[in-house]
């Protein structure tokens, strides 16, 4: 009797252990077996309910596993995205990635290289890295932009232009959400053609600032000079008068020559050897801005150290980019090492110098050098220089001329 009780207890314990291992469904399983045994394999309502319950449990577990996998995947995509695109505090909330690994980039409210240099450069760096690494860009969100400078618009256009050239995709842009003034400026600069958007049929209300369509030139291209001339003709049509054409051509031709001789020396692919050019005019302040941009190695990387202290500075990385740009503007300094070369960057100053108020700003990699001229009441021209170094790179070399035209 005692042995029989002990055996039944053992059986009960094993059953409980199995139940614990399999969960609550074991009871139902037993019931199912029991019902099958009783009814000769015919399924009862109870068994159907049991099957349904099992199916629901399996489905729930599968969904849970999928969720966990997606979270793990998205975490790895996000961390991969952040490192691949060099995201920072300025851009941490600006990039989204969907399941198919296509990214959406939200552009910031203000794009310019004066007050918002770091923010602007950080966003452009993401776009540039996405192009370099072949990421698929789903959408560029222009809706938050409330102001954009000529130079920022040109750098952005150049990056989108390269993305189209190399990745060969189509970018989405929600045109209705763009602010009216920004839409007009970007339309003038040629963004509609670039993004494949249909231009609105209506005429834009005239604003104070007018942009000229950006131009893309190829290094060593046959039409480089003709493009510089075309820009001058377009500027004269825009401002309604003639400008000092030879000074403008002098600066542009040297900028183009500098790009072909120094900027892309380490680039083999011809599809990457381009420069971009544009201009804008403010009819109220009569300020004319001409902007030239290339995505080359940058002036600081092509500048040789002439003197011993410069060589020591280079070794200890104590020579800032802005100081290197300033040194490059000196006559006779060139990466070729030939004395006759290195006169070119001085030509960049002439267009600014030829006006009563004018300045030239050269930004290359993380440095910026500015030379400004103003003619005082005595008729003497005063010159001011300034240098600035930043945390983020402009991604090449950007030359900006800004002059006030006489009425």
Partner 1 sequence: MKTISIGKDYSDTPLGRYEGDGPFNGTRFREEFLRPALESGEAVHVKIDDTEGYGSSFLDEAFGGLVRFGYFSASELQSKLVIELEDQDYNLYKNLIWRYIDSAQPAPK
Chain positions contacting partner 1, by CB under 8 A: 219-222, 224-226, 228-229, 232, 244-250, 253-254, 256-257, 260-261, 339-341, 343-344, 346-347
State in angstroms the smallest separation of the CB of 397 from partner 1.
16
Joined tokens for residue 39: 């009814």
Burial pattern 201-218, b for ≥16 Cβ within 10 A else e, equals eeeeeeeebbbbebbbbe
The residue among 119 and 254 lying less far from partner 1, judged by its C-beta, is 254
State in angstroms the smallest separation of the CB of 350 from partner 1.
9
State in angstroms the smallest separation of the CB of 347 from partner 1.
5
State in angstroms the smallest separation of the CB of 234 from partner 1.
13
3-state secondary structure of 183: helix
State in angstroms the smallest separation of the CB of 255 from partner 1.
9
The residue among 238 and 349 lying less far from partner 1, judged by its C-beta, is 349
Answer for the pair 85, 95: CB distance below 8 angstroms, yes or no. Answer: yes
The residue among 187 and 231 lying less far from partner 1, judged by its C-beta, is 231
Residue 57 C-alpha from the chain's centroid:
47
The residue among 120 and 334 lying less far from partner 1, judged by its C-beta, is 334
Task: Give me the residue label for tokens 């029989």.
Answer: 4
The residue among 138 and 273 lying less far from partner 1, judged by its C-beta, is 273
State in angstroms the smallest separation of the CB of 392 from partner 1.
31
Q: Residue 407: which of 290, 281, 289 has the closest Cα?
A: 281
Burial pattern 390-403, b for ≥16 Cβ within 10 A else e, equals bebbbbbbbbbbbb
Answer for the pair 331, 325: CB distance below 8 angstroms, yes or no. Answer: no
Q: List beta partners, residue 217.
A: 275
How far is CA 55 from each of CA 50, 62, 304, 305, rounded to the nearest angstrom?
A: 9, 11, 73, 75
The residue among 117 and 351 lying less far from partner 1, judged by its C-beta, is 351
The residue among 344 and 358 lying less far from partner 1, judged by its C-beta, is 344
Rounded CA gap, 302 and 60, in Å?
62
The residue among 193 and 330 lying less far from partner 1, judged by its C-beta, is 330
Joined tokens for residue 198: 């249909």
State in angstroms the smallest separation of the CB of 223 from partner 1.
9
Class of residue 304 by CB neighbours under 10 A (exposed 0-12, middle 13-18, buried 19+): middle
State in angstroms the smallest separation of the CB of 380 from partner 1.
19
Task: Give me the residue label for tokens 């005082």.
Answer: 376
């Amino acid at each position: 009797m005692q042995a029989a009780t002990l055996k039944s207890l053992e059986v009960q314990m094993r059953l409980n252990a199995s139940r614990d291992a399999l969960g609550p469904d074991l009871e139902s399983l037993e019931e199912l077996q029991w019902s099958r045994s009783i009814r000769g394999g015919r399924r009862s309502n109870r068994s159907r309910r049991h099957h349904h319950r099992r199916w629901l449990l399996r489905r729930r577990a599968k969904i849970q596993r999928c969720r966990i996998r997606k979270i793990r995947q998205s975490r790895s995509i996000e961390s991969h995205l952040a490192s691949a695109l060099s995201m920072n505090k300025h851009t941490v909330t600006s990039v989204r990635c969907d399941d198919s690994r296509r990214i959406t980039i939200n552009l910031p409210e203000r794009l310019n290289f004066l007050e918002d240099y770091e923010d602007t450069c950080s966003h452009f760096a993401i776009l540039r890295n996405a192009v370099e690494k072949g990421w698929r860009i789903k959408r560029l969100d222009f809706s938050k932009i409330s102001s954009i400078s000529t130079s920022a618009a040109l750098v952005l256009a150049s990056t989108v232009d390269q993305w189209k050239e190399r990745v060969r995709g189509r970018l989405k842009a929600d045109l209705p959400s763009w602010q009216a003034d920004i839409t007009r400026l970007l339309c003038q600069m040629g963004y509609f053609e670039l993004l494949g958007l249909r231009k609105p049929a209506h005429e834009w209300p005239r604003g104070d600032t007018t942009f000229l369509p950006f131009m893309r030139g190829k290094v060593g291209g046959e039409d480089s000079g003709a493009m510089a001339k075309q820009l001058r003709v377009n500027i004269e049509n825009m401002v309604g008068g003639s400008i000092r054409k030879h000074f403008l051509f002098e600066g542009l031709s040297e900028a183009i020559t500098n790009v072909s001789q120094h900027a892309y020396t380490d680039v083999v692919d011809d599809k990457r050897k381009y420069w971009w050019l544009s201009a804008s005019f403010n009819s109220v302040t009569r300020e004319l801005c001409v902007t030239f941009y290339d995505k080359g190695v940058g002036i600081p990387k092509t500048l040789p150290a002439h003197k011993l202290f410069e060589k020591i500075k280079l070794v200890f990385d104590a020579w800032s980019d802005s100081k290197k740009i300033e040194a490059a503007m000196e006559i006779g300094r060139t990466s070729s090492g030939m004395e006759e070369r290195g006169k070119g960057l001085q030509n960049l100053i002439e267009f600014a110098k030829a006006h009563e108020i004018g300045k030239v700003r050269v930004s290359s990699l993380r440095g910026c050098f500015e030379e400004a001229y103003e003619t005082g009441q005595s008729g003497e021209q005063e010159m001011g220089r300034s240098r600035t170094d930043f945390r983020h790179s402009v991604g090449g070399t950007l030359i900006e001329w800004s002059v006030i035209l006489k009425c």
